[in-house]
């Protein structure tokens, strides 16, 4: 498969997957070149939804609607 065939698929990936792909490619190249690239092949999960304000607003609305209904 050529790069031009892959590009449309890559471009349709979600942003998080694009970032993961960049990390994987960087890690692959670094490994081939014998370069230590610690950051590229490590995943550091940060689960805290610290800025999910739109979601928080949705939950407040759901609570409000539920209170009115009950």
Partner 1 sequence: MAEAQQFPYVEIDPSLGAASALPYVPLTLEHQGNVVSVSALVDSGAALNVLPYDIGLQLGAVWEQQTIPVQLTGNLADSDARAIIVAGTVGRFAPARFAFAWTRNNQVPIIVGQVNFFMEFDVCFFRSRSIFEIRPRE
Q: Cα torsion at 52, 58, 60, 62 (round to 10°)?
A: -150
Give the whole-angstrom CA distance, residue 11 versus residue 17: 10
Q: Does 42 bind partner 1 (CB under 8 A)?
A: no
**Considering only CA atoms, which of 14, 13, 16, 12 is closest in space to residue 43?**
16
Q: Does 45 bind partner 1 (CB under 8 A)?
A: yes
CB nearer partner 1, residue 38 or residue 66: 66
CB nearer partner 1, residue 7 or residue 63: 63
Site for partner 1, rule CB under 8 A = 14, 16-17, 45-56, 58-60, 62-63, 66
């Amino acid at each position: 498969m050529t790069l031009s065939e892959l590009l449309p698929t890559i471009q349709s990936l979600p942003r998080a997957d694009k970032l993961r792909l960049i990390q994987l490619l960087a890690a692959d190249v670094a490994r081939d070149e014998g370069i230590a690239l610690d950051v590229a092949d490590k995943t550091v999960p940060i689960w805290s939804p610290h800025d999910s304000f739109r979601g928080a607003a949705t939950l407040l609305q759901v609570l409000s609607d539920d209170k009115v209904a009950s």
